[in-house]
A and B are shown apart, each in its own frame.
Chain A
Amino acid sequence: MGNKLETIDVNLYYGDFHALKGISMFISENSVTALIGPSGCGKSTYLRLFNRMNDLIPNTRIEGQVLLDGEDIYQIKPSKIDHLRRNVGMVFQKPNPFPKSIFENVAYGLRVNGITDKSFIGAQVEKTLRQAVLWEEVKDKLKKSAFELSGGQQQRLCIARALAIEPSVILMDEPASSLDPISTGKIEDLIFELKNLYTIIVVTHNMQQAGRVSDYTGFFYLGNLIEFDKTKKIFTNPSKPETENYITGRFG
C-alpha cells in the first residue's frame, strides 16, 4: 500500500495564530486514520488541508507541502481546485444537507460536475444510499425534503452525498458527534465497510471509536502532532507520555 496522502512540514497560520506547527504525516491508501486530541488542537484545521477548505477563511497562510498521490495540491491551478474537491470528499461534524429533496442532495455533486445522464444519476443515488445504509429507510420518500430526516439519517445522507461523486479520499470531521449510540454504531460500521474502497481520515473525540475503526491514529496537541502510529500501538503502548495521559483520560 502506497502513500495516498502526505504532509511535509506543514505550518498553518490564522492571521497571527499558529494553528499547525510543522506537521509531517503519511496516510496510506485504503486505510482509516483517526485524528484525536483535545479541543482546539488543530484536528479540523489539519483535516481541511486536504480539500483546501481552509482557503475559504480569509488571512490564512499555509507553508509546507500537502501531497495527494505525490502531487502538491497547493501548487495546482486555482481552476483545478474543484477537481481536487471532487476527489477528496468531506463529511462535516454537523449534518448539513441542502434544502432540497433527498434525491437531489445525493445527486448534487454529480450535477455540479456536469453529469446529466438521468439513468446514471438515478443508479448512482441508489448505490450510494445503499452504501450509506440509508436506502431502505428513504427509498419511498426520495422526493421529500432532506430536513424531514432525523439527525442520524441526515448524517448518513451527507455521507451518501460525499460518496456519490466517487472520491478516493473521504475526510470525516467528528461524523458521529451529534448522534445517538445506535446511529453512531451504524456510521462506524459504515466506515469499516468503506475502508476497502476509500482512504479515510476521521476526526474523533471518542477514544473507543478511534480504537474500533482506525488503522492509524495521530494525536494532536496545541497544533503539534505529538505522536502518529498504528492504532494498536497508540492505544496499548504509546511512546509519548502526553499521548498516554490523554488516552487514559488523565489529561487537563
Chain B
Amino acid sequence: MRLRRFTEPVFESLIKISGYSTGFIVLLIVIFLFKEGISFFNLSPVDEGSSLWVHNSNPVKKLTAPQIKDIFDQKITNWKALGGNDQPISLCTLDELGEAFTEEQLGAKFERLPACIDSYIDSLPGTIGFFPDKQTANALKNAQPVQVDKVSFSKFISGTEWFPTSRPAASMGVMPLLLGTLLVSFFAILFALPLGLAAAVYLAEIADERVRRILKPVIELLAGIPSVVYGFFGLVVIVPLVQSTFNLPVGETALAGSIVLAIMALPTIITVSEDALRTTPRAMKEASLALGASQWQTIRKVVVPYAASGITAAAILGIGRAIGETMAALMVTGNSAIMPRSLLQPVRTIPATIAAELGEAPFGGLHFKALFALGCILFIITLIINFLVERVSAKRVR
C-alpha cells in the first residue's frame, strides 16, 4: 500500500517525461526541417565563390538560372535572344583560358589571370565568363559581374525545371516533382479506392464469417510489408507489364508508379473502410431488407452512406500513404524530373527525389537545402491531409 503511494507518482512522472520528450523531439525535427528548408531561399543559384562576367558593353546585366543553363548548354547562342545586341555568345571558363594563353602569360601562380581574362573578354565582347572569385579577385576592368536572380519561393514553386547539379547555375523548380507526386498519387487513389471499397463491402457484407476471418488478417498483414518489397514486385511484374501492354520503350512510368502505390494503399483503404461499414447497425440493414430492398440496394443506399465519413477517412489515409511513399516510387517511376504530360512517361516524385539526391548533395550546400525545402513541401501536404482526416472523422462522432 505504502509502496504504491510511492510508485504511482514515479510512473506518472515517467510517462509525462516520455510524452514531453517525444513532443520535444518531434518539434525539433520540424524546426530543423524548416530552418534548413527556408534558408534555401535568397541563396544565389550560382556556385558559392564563383561569378559570371560579361563585357562592359554588354547590355544584358541580369540572367535567370534557366537562361544560364541554356547558354552553357548552347541552346541560346546569341545575345539577341536575351534582349542584348546581335552578337554570338561565346563561353569562357578556366579551360578556354588555358588554351588561349600560355603558362608564361598566365603566370606561375596564375597571378596575371585577371589581366588575361580582361584581354580575352575585350577581344570577344560576346563572351560570358565563369570564374572562381579567387582567380578574378573581383578586379576585372573590361567586364562586370552578371546579376543572377536569387532563388525565390515563387520561382521555386512555379519553376518547371529541376537541374539541381547543373553548372554554372542550378535550376530548381519544384513543379515537375510536385506534379509528378500528385499525378502518381491521384491515379493511385483512383485505382485503389473503387477496388478497396469493393473489397471492404465484400468483407463486411457478403463474405461469410469463415472467409472473413482468414482474409482480414491477411490484408492487415499486407499493410506491414516493407515498401521495398512492393517496389521490387512492381519492378519485376508491373513495369514489364506496363511496357508490353502499351508498347513503350521503358516500363518505368507514372502508370507503373500509380499501380504499385495503389496496391500499397489498398490494405489501409480496405481495413479502415471495412471497419466503418461494419459500424452500420444491424437494425438499419434489417429495416431496409424488410422493406423489400435487395442486398445490393441495402449496401448502396444504407450501408455505404452510413459509413461515408469512415470511407472518406480511408481514402485520405490512402492518399497520404501514396504521397509519402519513397522507396517503391523510386523503384518504378523512372525518376525523370520532367513536367509530366501523360501517365505513360517516367516521372519523379518528391520523396523519391529526396532519397535519390540527398546522398550526392554536398552537405549544407544549395542542393542540400533545396532538398530540405522539398521535405517542407511534403510535410505541408501531409499536414493538410491529416487535417482533412481529423475533420472528416470528427464529423463521424455526430
Contact = CB atoms under 8 A, between A and B. Distances in A.
Interface of A: 51, 53, 56, 58, 82-83, 85-86, 89-90, 92, 94, 96-100, 108-109, 111-113, 158, 161-162, 165
Contact of A112 (B297, B305, B306): B297
B289 A56 contact: yes
B209 interface: yes
A85 B291 CA distance: 6
Contacts of A99: 284, 305-306
Contact of B290 (A58, A89, A100): A89
Contacts of B293: 82, 108-109, 112
B292 A94 contact: no
B301 interface: yes
Interface in B281-309: 281, 283-284, 286-294, 297, 301-302, 305-306
Given A99-B305, A112-B291, 6 more contacts: A85-B290, A92-B287, A94-B283, A98-B288, A108-B288, A161-B291
A96 B289 contact: no
B208 interface: yes
A100 B302 CA distance: 9
Interface residues of B, number: 19
Nearest to A85: B292
14 contacts: A53-B289, A58-B209, A82-B292, A82-B294, A85-B290, A92-B283, A92-B286, A96-B281, A99-B284, A100-B305, A108-B288, A112-B291, A161-B291, A162-B290
B258 to A, nearest CB: 34
A92 B289 CA distance: 12
A161 B292 CA distance: 12
A167 to B, nearest CB: 9
Contacts of B290: 51, 53, 85, 89-90, 92, 162
A112 B301 contact: yes
Contact of A96 (B284, B297, B301, B305): B284
A112 B209 contact: no
Contact of A109 (B209, B283, B292): B292
Contacts of B292: 82-83, 85-86, 109, 112-113, 165
B291 A96 contact: no
Nearest to A84: B292
Contacts of B305: 99-100
Pick the most buried of A100, A108, A158: most chain B CB atoms within 10 A of its CB. A108
Pick the most buried of B208, B209, B284, B286: most chain A CB atoms within 10 A of its CB. B286
A94 B287 CA distance: 11
A109 B292 CA distance: 7
A56 B289 CA distance: 10
A78 to B, nearest CB: 10
B207 to A, nearest CB: 12
B56 to A, nearest CB: 78
Contacts of A83: 292
B291 A108 contact: yes
A98 B209 contact: no
Contacts of A98: 284, 287-288, 302
Nearest to A100: B305
Given A58-B208, A85-B292, A98-B302, A158 B287 contact: yes
Pick the most buried of A82, A97, A109, A112: most chain B CB atoms within 10 A of its CB. A112
Interface string B193-230: 00000000000000011000000000000000000000
Nearest to B293: A112
Given A85-B292, A86-B291, A96 B306 contact: no
A83 B289 CA distance: 11
Contacts of A100: 305
Contacts of A112: 288, 291-294, 297, 301
A162 B290 CA distance: 8
B289 A85 contact: yes
A98 B302 CA distance: 7
A102 to B, nearest CB: 15
A58 to B, nearest CB: 7
Contacts of B291: 85-86, 89, 108-109, 112, 161-162, 165
Interface string B68-109: 000000000000000000000000000000000000000000
Contacts of B209: 58
Interface string B360-379: 00000000000000000000
Nearest to A99: B306
Contacts of A109: 291-293
Contacts of A111: 301
A27 to B, nearest CB: 18
Pick the most buried of A58, A97, A98, A161: most chain B CB atoms within 10 A of its CB. A98
A51 B301 CA distance: 21
A111 B302 CA distance: 13
Interface in B161-214: 208-209
Interface string B121-165: 000000000000000000000000000000000000000000000
A129 B286 CA distance: 21
B298 to A, nearest CB: 8
Contacts of A56: 286, 289
B288 to A, nearest CB: 7
Nearest to A82: B292
A165 B290 CA distance: 11
A90 B289 CA distance: 10
Nearest to A158: B287
Contacts of B294: 82, 112
A237 to B, nearest CB: 36
A109 B291 CA distance: 5
B362 to A, nearest CB: 59
Nearest to A97: B287
Interface string B258-291: 0000000000000000000000010110111111
